[in-house]
Amino acid sequence: MFDVTVFSMMKKLVLTLSSALLLATFNASAMEAHQPSTVVELYTSQGCSSCPPADALMGRLVEYGGKEVLGLSFAVTYWDYIGWKDTFGRQENDIRQARYRDQMGARYVYTPQMVVAGENHFVGSDGAKLKEQLSKFEGHAKKLDLKWRIEGKKIHITLPRSETPATLWQVDIDHLKEVNIQRGENSGRQITYHNVVRNSERLRSWDGSPTEITLDMTELEHQGRDGCALLVQKGESGPIIAALQIDL
């Protein structure tokens, strides 16, 4: 007589192994991408006492903006001297912000600063201004209809013809980071940062002719990053005409 208990155990084992195999397959191809409508950059510093409200506003934007808004937190280094070295700060972020200063005719850089669409800036904790700017620049990151396909750890992105020559940037991000700040103006505070920029790389100049680029996510995954974004930007610091968010 066949042992029903053994049969039941074998059935459970098969189901467990099948589920594990499906999960492994899913994890191996979990990369996805979408084209947001708007890009918002926040220039912030862990050493700046005025920044936590802006960091919280960015958190709400990322959480509730869904796929329509790409929020990016760029940590700068020029406040490090006042007692706390920003753990995410990069001089490349300082340079990017300085380019915006020059492009927009501002007199100085500051934190917290939000830049929407690569076109306008304001104090990064001003929620009313953010709402106004999101409405004003809605759709700017979809001026080009990007197409893409994913093959393993690579994503192939097709850019259509454009009348606007541009620069292609890859911006690597971590979705969520908490930092216990031990010195400086925010000493004793635990602050949560969203879509933290860990690296930004100028991929190439683009003359506007139809083209395809390929991004290999293998190294990014090995580094433990959560994903990246492709920014298509007029000049090096002008209006952003397209963007693609890629999540690992």
DSSP state of 142: B
Handedness of CA 244, 234, 112, 40 (dihedral sign): negative
Q: Which are the contacts of 120, defined by CB distance < 8 A and separation ≥ 6?
A: 104, 133, 136, 137
Burial class (CB in 10 A: 0-12, 13-18, 19+), 123: middle
Taking only the tens place, the pLDDT of each residue in 235-246 is 889 999 999 999
Taking only the tens place, the pLDDT of each residue in 149-193 is 999 999 999 999 999 999 999 999 999 999 999 999 999 999 999
Q: How confident is the model at residue 137 (pLDDT cuts 50, 70, 90)?
A: very high
Task: Evaluate if residue 6 carries a pLDDT over 70.
Answer: no
Taking only the tens place, the pLDDT of each residue in 34-75 is 999 999 999 999 999 999 999 999 999 999 999 999 999 999
- Answer yes or no: are the C-beta atoms of 119 and 105 closer than 8 Å: no
Average pLDDT, stretch 3-9?
A: 45
In degrees rounded to 5, what are phi and psi of residue 95? -65, -40
Q: Which are the contacts of 156, defined by CB distance < 8 A and separation ≥ 6?
A: 148, 149, 150, 212, 213, 214
What H or E segment, with its residue span, contains residue 231? Answer: strand 227-234
> pTM of the prediction?
0.88
pLDDT of residue 230: 98
pLDDT of residue 9: 44
Taking only the tens place, the pLDDT of each residue in 19-42 is 444 444 444 458 999 999 999 999
Q: Which are the contacts of 155, defined by CB distance < 8 A and separation ≥ 6?
A: 31, 33, 148, 149, 214, 215, 217, 246
Average pLDDT, stretch 85-108?
A: 97
Distance CA(173)–CA(179), nearest Å, equals 16
Lookup: tokens for 92? 């490349």
Taking only the tens place, the pLDDT of each residue in 97-131 is 999 999 999 999 999 999 999 999 999 999 999 99
Percentage with pLDDT > 90 across the chain:
87
Distance CA(188)–CA(183), nearest Å, equals 7
Looking at residue 4, its amino acid is V
